[in-house]
Structure 1
Amino acid sequence: MKLFIFGLGYTAGFYAAQAVAHFDQVTGTTRAPQGEAIGRVRMLPFDGAAEAVDARLRRALQEADALLVSAGPDAMGDPVLRRLEAEIAAAPRLKKIVYLSTIGVYGDHGGHWIDESAEARPSNARSRTRLEVEAQWLALGARAGKPVYVLRLSGIYGPGRNVLVKLREGTAKRLVKPGQVFNRIHVADIASAIDACLLSDTPAGIYNVTDDEPAPPQDVVLYAAILLGVAPPPEQDFVAAELTPMARSFYGENKRVSNMRMKADLGVELAFPTFREGIAALAAQGEGR
């Protein structure tokens, strides 16, 4: 089997490194590859703003059995659909499509528990575009008879991208907004969810890919500091803190996101069900030292 990946960023790059064990060929894209391959992952250029699409990319799509889309939308929508929607729909060997989205499409739910049946009410243009793109991928799958899995990811962390690293670099903040919680997900558990979609007979549709325990962000920073044996940064009142507009917008959304459908229908067993297991494992691997 052959896997094609649009957008070889942090999450898709992590998945690609292990997907070579399951697929005969893995091809990924970046806007300007630094070489022809990263390990065993073949690299091709793709830029949604460019006038032309590389002929090698078109051929690889025709040969792909599975497609993972991790390239985010731009101001004009989804760059992959804009350039290649018809070719993806007609790809003769393509059997499954996974689109990586975000729980940001739900917007604010006042800290209540929600699942995939909850109303999506995105609070900013970025999340509204995501929701529109989700619908476009699902519609493509329905027209072409190809199962499409939309994975709504919570806050991603893992090797090299975590609170332990931020503590080491001195950029961690312990912001306090009463009642605020966030869900998180370790990148390895995202990989397990993608595997469940692409490598097993599971129902297509929308899935929340998130941990079991939405938690206040200041608690996560404190836990990580204790593991490293360092003093945690002082607590800061969210209202008075200096934040970028994007960072402040994250705190405007408060929800507890359920992963029960992911567990029941995809059969995913989380290796890191809460931030404690995930951060402890990263610390044991030397992160933050």
Structure 2
Amino acid sequence: MKQVVIAGCGDIGTALAHRLRQRGWRVFGLRRDTSVLPEGVEPIAADLTCADKPAQWPDKVDYLVYCPAAGKRDAQLYQQLYVQGLEHVLAWTKENRRLPAHLLQVSSTGVYAQKEGEWVTENSPALAESETGKILIQAEDAALRCGFPASVVRLAGIYGPGRNRLIEQVRNGLCVPTEPPQYSNRIHRDDAVALLEHLLLEADKDELLAPCYLGVDDEPASMHEVASWLAAQLGTSLLAEGSTPGRVGSKRCSNALARESGWEPRYPSYREGYGEMLKSAEQGME
């Protein structure tokens, strides 16, 4: 039975744990509050920012997924969670007699500084300008230098169940300028989880994984296009002036490499993903 540790087992990690459990894998979920883990996921109660090895750490780890969520953009927290936390987990892992077959480290397309609408791939320079983005690059470097096979998965803006911020912004009144085009990238939560699952299964088949993958849907789109579409679905209109989405940067991320590996998104664009969310919300009110 394959054993996987999901360190930082929050929304993404829990959904991944459920999928892997269905495949017969033995799943360990590491988080501070393990009471919320789904049935069948074996708890590891630990604080990633603490160097002490948790008592429940398994003797065998076939695969390791590192996917914590900071919750806020704070440079000190990012350093503690994404860099030091990863170093702690790697140290615990290396105390075992056998190293994992592969590490997946979940990162962000925020490591890219491109903002002129350029197309971005895994080979594009990642020269983040923000402090948090620079720290994520440090974390990626720590993952790729861990001493056993590893891949970084840079996810774009995640939306889906419980992640309806843009829908609420549009519903409450939002201003999104048409010019200059502000390209945005996103991935539905379920597609992000499916990508992680797919890469683990490929590694388990001894397929050679790339060091980096972009987790995005098929269709980067301008914020004005996305918000206008949502407004039409909600029966409202965008404001001529007023509050804005508060986003910065403008780039178009390609998922070609992830697709070449055999993964394909269930929600190829914002229309399918947000459309299902709106439909589910309507059904919930009936």
Establish whether TM, by shorter chain, passes 0.5: yes
Which residue of structure 2 lines up, in the alignment, with residue 271 of structure 1? 266
Deviating more after overlay: 131-140 vs 66-75? 66-75
Measure how far apart 1:24 and its partner are: 2.9
Q: Does the Cα contact within 8 Å between 1:105 and 1:121 map onto a contact in 2?
A: yes
Identity of aligned residues (%): 25
| Distance (whole Å) between structure 1 residues aligned to residue 165 and residue 237 of structure 2 | 11
Which residue of structure 1 lines up, in the alignment, with residue 66 of structure 2? 69
Measure how far apart 1:165 and its partner are: 5.2
Give the 3-state SS of the residue equivalent to 2:176 in structure 1. strand
| Distance (whole Å) between structure 2 residues aligned to residue 174 and residue 38 of structure 1 | 40
Residue 120 of structure 1 is aligned with which of 97, 119, 126?
126
Unaligned runs of 5+ in 1: none
How large is the RMSD of aligned CA atoms in angstroms?
Answer: 2.5
Give the 3-state SS of the residue equivalent to 2:6 in structure 1. strand
Residue 280 of structure 1 is aligned with which of 270, 275, 279?
275
Which residue of structure 1 lines up, in the alignment, with residue 162 of structure 2? 160
Q: Does the Cα contact within 8 Å between 1:108 and 1:255 map onto a contact in 2?
A: yes
Provide closer, same or farther for how the CA distance between residues 167 and 86 of structure 1 changes in structure 2, counting only shifts above 3 A.
closer
* One-letter code aligned to 1:54: P
Provide closer, same or farther for how the CA distance between residues 262 and 218 of structure 1 changes in structure 2, counting only shifts above 3 A.
same
Which residue of structure 2 lines up, in the alignment, with residue 43 of structure 1? 43
Which residue of structure 2 lines up, in the alignment, with residue 105 of structure 1? 111
Measure how far apart 1:70 and its partner are: 0.4
1:79 aligns with 2:84: yes
Q: Does the Cα contact within 8 Å between 2:156 and 2:185 map onto a contact in 1?
A: yes
Deviating more after overlay: 72-81 vs 24-33? 72-81
Give the 3-state SS of the residue equivalent to 1:74 in structure 2. helix
* TM-score, with structure 2 as normaliser: 0.84
| Distance (whole Å) between structure 2 residues aligned to residue 280 and residue 70 of structure 1 | 27
| Distance (whole Å) between structure 1 residues aligned to residue 84 and residue 123 of structure 2 | 28
Deviations 1:200-232 (A, max 9, x none): 22423101110121112232233223334x324
* TM-score, with structure 1 as normaliser: 0.83
Provide closer, same or farther for how the CA distance between residues 283 and 186 of structure 1 changes in structure 2, counting only shifts above 3 A.
same
Unaligned runs of 5+ in 2: 70-76
| Distance (whole Å) between structure 2 residues aligned to residue 284 and residue 153 of structure 1 | 25
Give the 3-state SS of the residue equivalent to 2:132 in structure 1. helix
Provide closer, same or farther for how the CA distance between residues 121 and 236 of structure 1 changes in structure 2, counting only shifts above 3 A.
farther
Provide closer, same or farther for how the CA distance between residues 280 and 31 of structure 1 changes in structure 2, counting only shifts above 3 A.
same
Give the 3-state SS of the residue equivalent to 2:123 in structure 1. coil
Give the 3-state SS of the residue equivalent to 1:223 in structure 2. helix
Q: Does the Cα contact within 8 Å between 2:93 and 2:99 map onto a contact in 1?
A: no
Q: How many residues align?
A: 269
